[in-house]
Amino acid sequence: MGINPSMGYYSFRDAAGLQGLHRIARDWRMTHMDRKWLVSHLRSHLSMRNFVIIGNKATTTPMFSLEDIPGTSGRLDILCRCVTAAFVLSHGIRKDVCVYLVLLGGEIPKTVRLDGETLRHLNPDERTTAALLKKALAVSATPDWASSTSGIFVRTGGLANVLADLKGARMLCLREDGADIRSVAGCDISGDVAFILGDHMGIAPKEWTVIEQAGAVVVSIGPVSLHADHCIVLMNWMMDTNWLLAI
Domains and CATH numbers, the chain: 2-45 (no CATH), 49-246 (3.40.1280.10)
Predicted confidence at residue 97, as pLDDT, reads: 96
What is the dihedral sign for C-alpha 11, 169, 50, 175? negative
pLDDT tens track for 145-162: 999 999 999 999 999 999
Whether the predicted pLDDT of 128 surpasses 90? yes
Distance CA 159, CA 163 (A): 6
Residue closest to 113 by CA, chosen among 83, 81, 68: 83
The answer to whether the CB of 82 falls within 8 A of the CB of 229 is: yes
Rounded alpha-carbon distances, angstroms, from residue 125 to 23, 177, 220, 230 = 39, 31, 28, 16
* Global confidence as pTM: 0.80
Confidence band, pLDDT 50/70/90 cuts, at residue 35: low
Distance CA 5, CA 27 (A): 8
What ranges in 66-140 are assigned the alpha helix state H? 69-72, 76-87, 126-137
Predicted confidence at residue 15, as pLDDT, reads: 40
Distance CA 101, CA 79 (A): 7
Whether the predicted pLDDT of 45 surpasses 60? no
Confidence band, pLDDT 50/70/90 cuts, at residue 6: very low
SS3 169: coil
CA angle 219, 86, 106 (to 5 degrees): 85
